[in-house]
Amino acid sequence: MPFNIPIALTWLRIAMIPLVVGLFYIPVGWVDPSLRDAVAAVAFLVAAVTDWLDGWLARRWNQTSAFGAFLDPVADKLMVSAALLVLLDLNRVDSFIALVIIGREITISALREWMAQIGASRSVAVHRLGKFKTAAQMVAIPCLLYWQPLYGVSTRIVGSVLIVVAAILTVWSMCYYLRRAWPQIRERG
């Protein structure tokens, strides 16, 4: 297993998941809820930035690896899923939206694994539609974690609108990937 700065950033992202989730298990009265929400939002933002940074550094420094290519999307899916479950528990996101987003991640991960096994992984390579979906999620989730006005802007509204946009893009991108894979699915079904 290679170890370099991009992979260390990916591991950092995974290590931050218990921090974000754990903040919401601190007993009421031990910490101000607005401080808890702010720390969780900042931690998620730091993790989201490392998602971009680790890929950029790996390409820039020519430190890409099969292990990094495997671990990076796993870290993203764990981080987003954990945050959505926290938001679901806090009644800040609808269960249908959480189900759509988490279900798509599982479905497309399984599809990519299967397509790689049959040598057709290029047909389900990351597309810009998936990148837009990820961007919408990475802005929506910290807004929903923060849950208080920021410079006069309601993060509740911004987060709520963006998570719906993310859910729509989630379904759209899933349909795109399934359509691209359909010839292989039909042929090898």
Sorted by where each starts, the structural domains of the chain and their CATH numbers stand as: 5-188 (1.20.120.1760)
Please list, in sequence order, all residues whose beta carbon lies within 8 angstroms of the beta carbon of residue 151, skipping any fewer than 6 positions away.
none
**pLDDT given for residue 187 in this prediction:** 77
pTM of the model: 0.89
At residue 168, the pLDDT reads 96
Q: What is the DSSP annotation of 94-150? A: -HHHHHHHHHHHHHHHHHHHHHHHTT-GGGG---HHHHHHHHHHHHHHHHHHH-SEE
Residue-level pLDDT, tens digit, the chain, 189 residues: 678 899 999 999 999 999 999 998 888 889 999 999 999 999 999 999 998 898 889 889 998 888 888 888 899 999 999 999 999 999 999 999 999 999 999 988 888 888 778 777 676 667 788 889 989 999 999 999 999 999 999 999 999 999 999 999 999 988 888 888 888 777 776
Predicted pLDDT of residue 118? 76
Long-range contacts of 176-185 (CB under 8 A, 24+ apart): 176/127, 176/129, 177/108, 177/111, 177/124, 177/127, 177/130, 178/111, 180/123, 180/124, 181/111, 181/115, 181/120, 181/123, 181/124, 183/123, 184/115, 184/118, 184/120, 184/123
170: nearest Cα among 114, 72, 97, 111: 97
Sequence-distant (≥ 6) Cβ neighbours of residue 29 within 8 angstroms: none
